[in-house]
Amino acid sequence: MHNKLTMNSDFIPDQLELNLSCIGQIDMSLFGFDSKLHDWFESGDKGDAKENEDEYSDFLSKFEPKHTTDDCYTPEKIYEAVAQWVSAKYNLNRTNFIRPFYPGGDYKNEKYKPSDIVVDNPPFSILSEIIKFYQEKGIKYFLFCPALTPFTLNVSLFATVIITGVEIIYKNRASVLTSFITNLESDDIQALTAPDLYKAIKDAGKENTIEIPKYVFPNEVITATMLNYLCKYGIDFVLAKKDAYRINSLDSMKKKNKGIYGSGFLISEKAAAEKAAAEKAAAEKWELSEREKEIVKKLSNQGVEDEEREAYVLGS
């Protein structure tokens, strides 16, 4: 499910650990699974079934391990798009790029040459460990990383995050929003966006994706989804009948055979202004503490010393 959601979700680690620890205690027959099936498969006693029978092959496929981003690798066209961008951006010789993670590599025992530059998709679960290894060894790298959590990596404070947030469908069909982390940038750059890299990857992966256009309604339109959002965040909103005109579609939508799911309303300018104010109020805003305000002042003046950054990383 997480892959299907293109990584656009969050986990509560403690709750996840609890849930996973309970799975082995569940009677799976309650959900239609034969508890003896796994024992049968492990025993090797497969009766008279033949390996060349389609039905048997389909059955065996159910037991194949489900892949994650830790055991998949990047399609060639997408990798080449990334490699070409890195080569042009940093004026590097493409022949110096190496892939110690492609597939089944052992990055710690790789025989790195001084000219080598690692451009690859590593296992995301040990990304911090990998980057720390490369930093300590003085090895240059440009690595794929999850687009939604690059700043959670402690080592990201001493590298540069290249933001693309582009969907990549890896060879195991896992769909992951992806950015990059590197030590090829200047030391004073914490993060930067790379629209040209985003476009290069999108163009290279077009054969694997279906582009779905995204539309934004004018402020003078209101739908049930919008009101659900306001209610979720505790916002009282009243739409008077005199301010509403029910519609199934906008004229501009009809030209593309589109409609408003669940219908909606055209609303008066007054109601539209009230809706905009309500949506602004619904947007959650965190406040800065006095300590954080002091950090902002330091950043605005002389900056923050590396010792302070390291203290933050270590949790002190």
List residues bridging with 166 in a β-sheet. Answer: 178
Whether 69 contacts 124, CB under 8 Å: yes
Average pLDDT score over residue span 106-121: 93
Edge-to-edge strand list for the sheet holding 175-182: 97-98, 117-120, 140-146, 175-182, 160-169, 191-193
Separation of alpha carbons 239 and 146, rounded Å:
41
What is the pLDDT, as a whole number, of residue 87?
A: 97
Nearest alpha carbon to residue 175 among 198, 146, 216, 199: 146
Separation of alpha carbons 147 and 199, rounded Å:
15
Q: What is the pLDDT of residues 278-288, one digit of tens each?
A: 888 887 677 88
pLDDT band for position 141 (cuts 50, 70, 90)? very high
Segments making up each domain of the chain, as ranges: 13-61, 76-208, 221-282, 288-316
Whether 83 contacts 97, CB under 8 Å: yes
Q: What is the pLDDT of residues 26-85, one digit of tens each?
A: 666 666 665 554 454 445 444 554 445 566 566 655 555 555 455 567 888 999 999 999
